Chain A
């Protein structure tokens, strides 16, 4: 099955600096890679996603890169703000023989943006 590793588990940055969170996956057949942000006391919310036929995607201050050869993908947040403080989860989605697309989540990264 798929195995997703996420690093670092905690990350502290100064406001205005950039933050990078990295994930690796094990199964080269995975074809969809979402990133979720979870604020305290709330459920995860999708912030950006990328499919396997794309190498990079950007949405304002957030970007995701995918290296299929190395089987890793990363989340980049530029010009960080205090409201970016949250737990971020990466995930990899793998098609199965049963028709179900199995989603495996990383363990999460707690990002703290220091004002």
Chain B
């Protein structure tokens, strides 16, 4: 049972490049989330999904897009990376929406130069 797996673990992008972060969970959770973690700011929600085929904006969605084509996968895309998007990104999933344990992946450290 792998839990939540993120790919890749590290990435360096040049400003303006695009990339996709992949999150996969094997717990059959309906709910999935993408967070970014920055020093002194805790975890901030970028986008979330309440089920296959659905997505919704969190508190810091600008510059990101997401897709949930399959229940077990949640993709985070950066169309035109900016230095302000340098961060550690965490994917999470949960059984219920926001009021039960969230299971986090190991994180993706992204640097935009």
Question: Footprint of B on A, CB under 8 Å?
Answer: 4, 6, 31-32, 34, 36, 41-46, 49, 89, 93, 95, 99-103, 105-108
Contact = CB atoms under 8 A, between A and B. Distances in A.
B42 A43 contact: no
12 contacts: A31-B99, A34-B101, A34-B102, A43-B90, A45-B104, A93-B98, A100-B48, A101-B97, A101-B99, A102-B98, A103-B102, A105-B42
Nearest to B98: A101
A49 B106 contact: no
Given A43-B4, A43-B107, A100-B56, A107 B42 contact: yes
Given A34-B102, A44-B90, 7 more contacts: A32-B99, A43-B92, A43-B105, A101-B96, A103-B98, A107-B40, A107-B41
A105 B35 CA distance: 11
A45 B3 CA distance: 12
B45 interface: yes
